[in-house]
Amino acid sequence: PLYYQQSDLTPLYYQQSDLTPIYYQQSDLTPIYYQQSDLTPLYYQQSDLTPLYYQQSDLTPLYYQQSDLTPLYYQQSDLTPIYYQQSDLTPIYYQQSDLTPLYYQQSDLTPLYYQQSDLTPIYYQQSDLTPLY
């Protein structure tokens, strides 16, 4: 079955198996799935079919890692990957240069690095970024 949306005539298909709605983008015909539960848009990447969700609020891309389903966001500005910890959803940034994990403290957003060798936490002072152990 192929329906057309009343508003913008976007093609809408229904999957044979579970009747999940599939929309096709006008520009590039990229399939868009909508989750049954909350109608969150779900895209599949053309290359590897990795699920790509878009946040309801700001449409920030959200990927799920194939292995452990850890959420992975991409920053709007520079597409730097941001991971969220499974336990407390603390943001983890990775530095562009050496992929050193960089955490931000929940309270004051002070950068917190972890040493490559022994994973010792390093805090940086707000004022001058002097390392604080």
When divided into structural domains, the chain yields a total of: 1
Question: For position 60, which CATH number holds?
Answer: 2.160.20
Which pLDDT score, from 0 to 100, does residue 83 have? 53
Mean pLDDT over each residue of the chain, to the nearest integer:
49
Which of 32, 60, 65 shows the shortest CA–CA distance to 46?
32
Q: Do the bridges between strand 91-94 and strand 101-104 make them parallel or antiparallel, or are there none, so unpaired? A: antiparallel
- Domain that residue 48 falls in: 2-129
DSSP 56: T
Q: What is the mean pLDDT of residues 56-65?
A: 48
